[in-house]
Amino acid sequence: MNLKASTKKETNKWELEIEVPAAEFNAAVNAAYKKDVKSINVPGFRKGKAPKAIIEKMYGEGVFFETAVDNLYRPAVMEAVEASGLEVVAIADMEIVETSKENGFIFKQTVVVKPEVAIEGYKGIEVTKTSKEVTDADIDAEIKKVQDRNSRMVNVDNRAAFTGDTAVIDFEGFVDGVAFEGGKAENYELALGAGQFIPGFEDQIVGHEIGEEFDINVTFPENYQAEELKGKDATFKIKLHELKTKELPELDDEFVKDVSDFDTVDEYKASIKADLEKKNEEAAKTEIDNQIIDALIEKLQAEIPQEMFESEIDENVNNFAYRLQSSGLDIQTYFKYTGLTPESIREQFKDQSEKNVKVRLALEKIVALEGIEATDEEVEAEFQKLADTYQMKVEEVKAVVDAKQMKADITNEKAVALVRDSAVVKEAE
């Protein structure tokens, strides 16, 4: 491969003129013949045995050129990109100049390059810290969650249904007096107030007592999943069989001993308070980092090519699909269940992807301006951390994680730390 010329055509776009010499091109043509001849029928020859010259005479000299070009194209572009020294972020249009046995394969390749970036004023950014105090209500709410996890359901029969109860009901739904498919069930356990059913359904069970039979009138939402029920008025015939309510364990020292490493309620509350204070402090730090990131994006000066945003969206969608697959659900099934499309899910990732690209460019520029580096020891420590996290050998991690990207992640984190340490932090009023 020869890189004949490298020319800037417009902002962030260059044209590479690439030549694959005749000897290399003809070798690829011969390889294409050996592969394709097996499927070519030529009168007078057994299938797959026709000489190359005979086939070229019948179908034209360029009969194998397309296969040869397909095999040569990608490696030639990759070599040319490396030889150009450009930071290429996307491959765009390709124009074939010539394909011949005499002169080989010559083509022009448009590439999209990383934009020129400028950033100023990244030191001394003003941010606001919101300090949230832990209240008794916060502590009680955390304890309530633990009590809730350790609760049990008990039957009640001396009162009407309340919001928060679980009602055991038979129901059957009718539209215009006709029962509809999927609208009937027996001994169904419905948590009142949980919003499991369409609006108004659960509210109309509240106040009724065990053994009652009654009607509920509701209207299906306009965006209901069943097309034939959208916006329709419906009547459900209900029979209330049972009422159950959640019984929480009493908050005492015995309960504390059962659910924690502490012996008394006071010790338990003090521990919860300390944990909540730590969480609040971490949340405040995260909010400061978010303010810093937003400020860096505002200070970034760059004409970012759309291809960079699209590539980031691609990666986020692929990662999302991989997470779905890891949980046993492929993305096509997910689309079916949710009504989303490939276009709509890309739209969901659009804003965050654009933000990621801008932040990465800003941090890379700060790294360059400040001469920030990642030491070999730091890189090795990160590889070891990943190995420990995923219970893999370090060598296995290195086989799938690019060391260059690892260094970039470390230096970007250092850039964030530099900006954070220089920030002017004010307490929220």
Among 59-63, 260-264, 299-303, the range scoring the smallest mean pLDDT is 59-63
Q: Is the pLDDT confidence value at 329 over 90?
A: no
Banded model confidence at residue 1, pLDDT cuts 50, 70, 90: confident
Find the length of the chain.
429
Tell me, what's the pLDDT at 4?
A: 94
Instruction: Please state the rounded mean pLDDT for residues 20-48.
Output: 88
Straight-line distance from the first to the last Cα atom of the chain, in angstroms, rounded to the nearest whole number: 65
Give the pTM: 0.72
Tell me, what's the pLDDT at 340?
A: 87
Task: State pLDDT tens for residues 221-239.
Answer: 998 888 889 999 999 999 9
Tell me, what's the pLDDT at 39?
A: 82
Q: Is the pLDDT confidence value at 330 over 90?
A: no
Q: Is the pLDDT confidence value at 48 over 80?
A: no
Task: State pLDDT tens for residues 358-388.
Answer: 999 999 999 999 999 999 999 999 999 999 9
Burial class (CB in 10 A: 0-12, 13-18, 19+), 256: buried
What is the Rg, in whole angstroms, of the alpha carbon atoms belonging to the chain?
Answer: 34
Tell me, what's the pLDDT at 361?
A: 97
Q: Is the pLDDT confidence value at 22 over 80?
A: yes
Tell me, what's the pLDDT at 326?
A: 87
Q: 246-250 — which CB contacts under 8 Å span 24+ positions?
A: 246/148, 246/151, 246/152, 246/153, 246/164, 246/166, 247/151, 247/152, 247/153, 247/154, 248/144, 248/147, 248/148, 248/150, 248/151, 249/147, 249/150, 249/151
Instruction: Please state the rounded mean pLDDT for residues 77-105.
Output: 95
Measure the CA–CA gap between 301 and 121, rounded to whole angstroms: 12
Plot region of 358 (φ>0 → left; ψ -120 to 50 → alpha; else → beta): alpha
Identify which has the larger pLDDT, 372 or 338: 372
Tell me, what's the pLDDT at 43?
A: 84
Q: For residue 234, how many other CB atoms are within 10 A of its CB?
A: 18
Q: Is the pLDDT confidence value at 93 over 90?
A: yes
Q: Is the pLDDT confidence value at 150 over 80?
A: yes
Angle at 35 between CA 107 and CA 106, to 5 degrees: 10
Banded model confidence at residue 218, pLDDT cuts 50, 70, 90: very high
Banded model confidence at residue 30, pLDDT cuts 50, 70, 90: very high
Banded model confidence at residue 26, pLDDT cuts 50, 70, 90: very high
- Give Cβ neighbours of residue 99 (< 8 Å, ≥ 6 apart): 25, 62, 65, 68, 69, 105, 106
CA 340 to chain centre: 15
Instruction: Please state the rounded mean pLDDT for residues 138-152.
Output: 95
Buried b (16+ CB within 10 A) or exposed e, 30-67: eebbeeebeebebeeeeeeebeeeebbeeeeeebbbeb
**Residue 239, beta-bridge partner list:** 170, 213
Q: 394-403 — which CB contacts under 8 Å span 24+ positions?
A: 403/379
3-state secondary structure of 193: coil
Instruction: Please state the rounded mean pLDDT for residues 167-192.
Output: 94
Identify which has the larger pLDDT, 38 or 230: 230
Q: Is the pLDDT confidence value at 131 over 90?
A: no
